Amino acid sequence: MIDSKMADALNDQINAELYSSYLYLAMAADLSSKNFNGFAQWMRVQAQEELIHAMKLYDYLIQRGGAVLLAQVDAPATSWDNVLSAFEDAYEHEKYVTGRINSLVDLAEELRDHATRSFLQWFVDEQVEEEATADEVVGKLRMVSDSGNGMLMMDRDLGAREPLLVASDDAD
């Protein structure tokens, strides 16, 4: 059975991951409303990925005998000044999530919860990728600045991001 302090922290992280999904979905909606459908597609896939992260935590908590306690998810912002500001916020958000994951690892170590520490390593590694990807997009957006051609190329390129395929446990 998982320690109640760890279970509470994982439940809080489930809520944070659900908020992340809402945030990226809000960014997608805003970008779509500005006819940046490729950037919006990238954000939609990111929203889906965050939901998968929440479900990984959800499943793990149940597997360890903990209770999943879903809390209200705060509403995210609904508009950004431009594409760059949306991706800058995404990058800052990923850095914030990295800090949260690191705090979970610290707690697992403090509680000598080796199973949770091992489980969380996937999230540690994932956050390295998440930050690097968001930072790369921000860097490219700064490079193209207000270049219409550059923005169109980036919109096209980021729009090629494919939705994630999630295998069902019930699949035959």
Query: What 3-state DSSP class applies to 3?
Result: coil
Asked whether the beta carbons of 18 and 73 are under 8 A apart, the reply is yes
Average pLDDT over residues 60-87: 97
Instruction: Write the pLDDT tens digit of every residue in 10-64.
Output: 999 999 999 999 999 999 999 999 999 999 999 999 999 999 999 999 999 999 9
Provide the percentage of residues in the chain whose pLDDT is more than 90. Answer: 89
End-to-end CA distance of the chain: 31
Give 162 or 92, the one with higher predicted confidence.
92
Cα separation, 59 vs 64, whole angstroms: 9
Mean pLDDT of the chain: 94
Entry pTM: 0.92
The answer on pLDDT for 130 being more than 90 is yes
CATH of domain 4-158: 1.20.1260.10
The answer on pLDDT for 116 being more than 90 is yes
Q: Confidence class of residue 165 from pLDDT cuts 50, 70 and 90?
A: low
